[in-house]
Structure 1
Amino acid sequence: MSTDYQQAREALGVRLRELRLSAHGGRLTGPQLAQRLSWPHSKIYKLENGRQTATPEDLRAWADGVGRPQAFDELDARLKGFESHIRSWRRQLAAGHKPVQDSWNLEIDRTTVIYTWEESVIPGMLQTADYARHIFLRYADLQNSVRDTDAAVRSRMRRQEWLYRAGRRLHALVWEAALRALLCPPPVLASQLDRLAGIIGMDTVELGIIPLGASLKVPPANGFWVLDERLVITEDWHAELWLNDSDSIATYLKVWRTLKESAVYGSDARSLINAARRALNPR
């Protein structure tokens, strides 16, 4: 996917160069356009060579700068085409965490079956409000983003209504490490573990936990969600990836099913949760 993304970015750069060379009133050199836009010349070079992702504001300025404002719609459509798959955190979090949660809610609402894997945190749809609040604060610190924490928490909690609708099914896999990661104060994690133990037995949730000592057939890499076998959402430190091609979906489902072979369920899963809970208050 990153290769496709880079190819699309380079193709956009080629189009930007074409517009510069065919500018209204005569071709412009890179330094001339940079001066006209009050940009460093290096930015012209990076955009045209696919080494920097343009913003919509960049594209509008470029179209105006070359005297072809009508080209903006085309350029913006190109950008949205590849950004629909690679959603950088810088862009997504410009308005805070709530809009991101709202986008997730729209996708979840039209989903019947979900497969998820989380290696270091409790899945969002199973989080308590206090636990979710600390997760959002951690990411706000990392990304230096808007702190709309309470609004983001409310949006995430609304998503959990999905769990109480007939016909829905969440297949969740969690690594034992997520039960012990102190991303929040111990009392908050204790409440979260109580919540997780209470989930076991719900008819809409199948919760599996992979013990730290379990034999693994595939490395437990980044968490991901598969929605109705039509969309995969996964994330890295720089961006969130939305993948809807059949090959990617098949790969993630294969990874999920391979991880499931190492998981325990029911009373065995509850025992792991209880052990993590006891470790918070050793006697």
Structure 2
Amino acid sequence: MSTQAQETREALGARLRGFRRDAGFKSGRAFANLLGWHESKVSKIEHGKQNASEEDIRAWCTSTGQQEHAEDLIATARHIDELWLEWRRQTKTGAESRQKKALPVYARTKSFRIWQPNMIWGTFQTADYAETVFQQAVEFFEFPNDTEAAVARRLERQRYLYEGSRTYQVLLGEQALYSNVGGGEVMTSQLERLMAIMGLVRVSVGIVPKAARTGIWLGHSFSMFDNKLVLVETFSAEMSVTQPREIELYAKAFATLKNSALYGEPARALIKAAIKHFHE
């Protein structure tokens, strides 16, 4: 759970606690008895230790005479859920819906900062590479197989590489050039595609060599969209970071990693070496 999500949950709990006290319930036990809940539930919600469901919020507001605030608080609770979305929830009908959801974010963004330590960033992927990635996800998460549609949606992002005045700063770990996604033929095509993309005017691609001296641990991948949103992917969920001070940390991490990267011909040399590896 992100710091922002936890702080929002605690703020929601504090507001509900105020409603309880204003209604004359001095203790959580008396209020819990009224609602037919275990008293620990009231305490956990008020201190941000447990999510309040929509039904919980409606019952709470009704019992304290604060019905007019119920919908706003429910919207707040939903926002907490959006800050940390499990992949199983996002892909319950397949991967295409998640890919489609990303398109408006890409359309709005003017400045992209991307860190991928061990794979090629989605917008740079070839169709064959992306197909393998989605097939792996289908097997791992066991969601409906709509790989063809998901790949098509992912490839839609690539038009933004050529439209408008967007800028792309993309950092890849050298491992991303060697993580074998789909076999030698797929990897060779993908790496050649990466070389071509490096020639685009508004695209900057840096490679952090495996033996480079770094100023911070390589950590997990993240994608920054202007200074408004950071998406962080884990094996279980996707976290949305929107709080300014947290975004500043990711910007600082990106700048630190950038100091370890190679660009231009030195970066191309690393890619060519990887292509040679998959030809052998």
Shorter-chain-normalised TM-score: which range? 0.7 to 0.9
Report the alpha carbon displacement of residue 4 of structure 1 after superposing the two structures with TM: 4.1
Aligned 8 A contact 1:60 1:72 in 2: no
Q: Distance in 2 between matches of 1:266 and 1:154?
A: 30
Q: Give the match for residue 183 of structure 1.
A: 181
Q: Give the match for residue 216 of structure 1.
A: 214
Q: Distance in 2 between matches of 1:144 and 1:44?
A: 36
Report the alpha carbon displacement of residue 268 of structure 1 after superposing the two structures with TM: 1.2
Shift in alpha-carbon separation, 1:84–1:133, aligned structure 2, 3 A: same
Q: What TM-score, normalized to structure 1?
A: 0.80
Q: Say which is worse superposed, 81-90 or 175-184, in terms of deviation.
A: 81-90
Q: Give the match for residue 104 of structure 1.
A: 102
Equivalent residue runs for 1:33-52 within 5 Å? none
Structure 1 residues 176-205: Cα deviation after superposition (integer angstroms, max 9, x where no partner): 101101132221111111111111221021
Q: Distance in 2 between matches of 1:78 and 1:4?
A: 12
Q: Distance in 2 between matches of 1:159 and 1:236?
A: 22
Equivalent residue runs for 1:272-283 within 5 Å? 272-282=270-280
Equivalent residue runs for 1:82-101 within 5 Å? 82-101=80-99
- 1:5 is the counterpart of 2:12: no
Q: Give the match for residue 240 of structure 1.
A: 238
**Helix, strand or coil at the partner of 2:207:** strand
Find the partner of 1:59 among 23, 33, 54: 54
Shift in alpha-carbon separation, 1:99–1:261, aligned structure 2, 3 A: same
**Helix, strand or coil at the partner of 2:34:** coil
Q: Distance in 2 between matches of 1:45 and 1:146?
A: 39
Aligned 8 A contact 1:201 1:266 in 2: no
Q: Distance in 2 between matches of 1:262 and 1:244?
A: 26
Report the alpha carbon displacement of residue 104 of structure 1 after superposing the two structures with TM: 1.5
Shift in alpha-carbon separation, 1:13–1:158, aligned structure 2, 3 A: same
**Helix, strand or coil at the partner of 2:91:** helix
Q: Give the match for residue 37 of structure 1.
A: none
Report the alpha carbon displacement of residue 115 of structure 1 after superposing the two structures with TM: 0.9
Q: Distance in 1 between matches of 2:170 and 2:233?
A: 17
Report the alpha carbon displacement of residue 100 of structure 1 after superposing the two structures with TM: 1.5
Q: Distance in 2 between matches of 1:177 and 1:46?
A: 43
2:5 partner letter: Y
Report the alpha carbon displacement of residue 51 of structure 1 after superposing the two structures with TM: 6.1
Give the total of aligned pairs.
Answer: 268
Shift in alpha-carbon separation, 1:176–1:152, aligned structure 2, 3 A: same
Q: Distance in 1 between matches of 2:263 and 2:57?
A: 56
Q: Give the match for residue 155 of structure 1.
A: 153
Q: Distance in 2 between matches of 1:136 and 1:220?
A: 24
Report the alpha carbon displacement of residue 96 of structure 1 after superposing the two structures with TM: 2.2
**Helix, strand or coil at the partner of 1:209:** strand
Q: Say which is worse superposed, 162-171 or 45-54, in terms of deviation.
A: 45-54
Report the alpha carbon displacement of residue 53 of structure 1 after superposing the two structures with TM: 5.1
1:173 partner letter: L
**Helix, strand or coil at the partner of 1:206:** strand
Shift in alpha-carbon separation, 1:145–1:62, aligned structure 2, 3 A: farther
Identity %: 34
1:274 partner letter: K
Superposition RMSD on alpha carbons, in Å?
3.3
Unaligned runs of 5+ in 2: 21-27
